Amino acid sequence: MKRVITHNQTKEPIPFVMLSKLLMMRKEMAPSWLELLLVTQFFSTCTNHLRSSRNECNLFCIDCEEQLVAFCYYCKSRHHSTHRVIQIRRSSYHDVVRASEVEDILDISNVQTYVINGAKVVFLNERPQVRGCGASVGKALSSSSP
């Protein structure tokens, strides 16, 4: 079942991390897996598959109610083969998920997406905005020098 999320007060995109807070403000229930996804730590080494090559815990099952459990490729094959699983990816040290993996289960039409390596992604937590950096600031500083 697809959850519908709207935000009529502002037309600005909503960071993915804010979805559960928005739902709570509107007195709607967030899917139980969403809050778990947002607090789960990813990219640790799977303790069950220490010697395997694909042992990075970057998968999350939205069908299981296990709390805070990220798992690897081999654990998926063994325990979650028939479940809906989301793969978490890294972009500049931040966790992201492909928009195509969550758009069928959440309405993310008002959520900011970014194109990274040709794929639309959504940051799990707010993307930090670097303030005061960039070419225009550098030019302004250099042009104001005597």
Residue 86 scores a pLDDT above 60: yes
Residue 39 pLDDT class (50, 70, 90 cuts): confident
Among residues of the chain, what percentage have pLDDT more than 90?
Answer: 25
**Look-up of token digits 């020098």:** 145
**CB proximity list for 54: less than 8 A, separation 6 or greater:** 72, 73, 74
Q: Mark residue 103 as left, alpha or beta (left: phi above 0; alpha: psi -120 to 50; beta: remaining).
A: alpha
Q: What is the pLDDT of residue 15?
A: 54
Among residues of the chain, what percentage have pLDDT more than 70?
Answer: 63
Look up the pTM and report it: 0.70
CA distances from 11 to 2, 120, 128, 130 (A): 21, 20, 20, 22
Q: What is the pLDDT of residue 64?
A: 83
Q: What is the pLDDT of residue 146?
A: 46
Residue 133 scores a pLDDT above 70: no
Read off the pLDDT of residues 12-33 as tens digits, 9 standing for 90 and up.
555 554 454 444 454 355 677 8
Read off the pLDDT of residues 43-80 as tens digits, 9 standing for 90 and up.
999 998 999 998 999 999 988 876 668 999 898 877 78
Residue 125 pLDDT class (50, 70, 90 cuts): confident
Which comes out higher in pLDDT, residue 14 or 143?
Answer: 14
